[in-house]
Amino acid sequence: MRLEVAILFFSMLVAPLAHLSGSVPERVGLVVMIVPPWSDASVVAEDAGAQLIGPTRAPFGQLVSIDNMAQAEQLEKAGAWFLLDAEKVEWICG
């Protein structure tokens, strides 16, 4: 019984994360930029020429506005671990 409950909770955690990991932004606008905790998100966004939006002290994720797909590539080169489509994140977070 405990194994089934553990599998259920694990799958409830993995399914949304798997959905998000395949959600590379396909258009310009708002994206969620995931940065390592030792990086400064404002510096990463500034290096890519993107505009940081939202909370200023989030541990990992920051909302960023990008004007073109080249900025998305620049964010990753500047130190972002990965980018997520903000609309898909909103679907999970409500």
Domain edges within the chain: 2-93
* Sequence-ordered strand ranges (E) for the chain: 29-34, 51-53, 61-66, 82-85
Computed over every residue of the chain, the mean pLDDT equals: 79
Q: Give whichever of 6-15, 29-38, 52-61 has the largest mean pLDDT.
A: 29-38
Owner of token pair 């959905």: 19
The mean per-residue pLDDT over the stretch 27-45 comes to 87
Give the pLDDT of residue 54: 73
Torsion of CA 67, 70, 72, 74, to 10 degrees: -120
Is residue 2 predicted with pLDDT exceeding 60? Answer: yes
The mean per-residue pLDDT over the stretch 68-86 comes to 87
3-state helix, strand, coil in the chain (%, to 5): 50, 20, 30
Domain 2-93's class?
Answer: alpha beta
Give the pLDDT of residue 47: 92
Q: Report the predicted TM-score, pTM, of the whole model to 2 decimal places.
A: 0.69
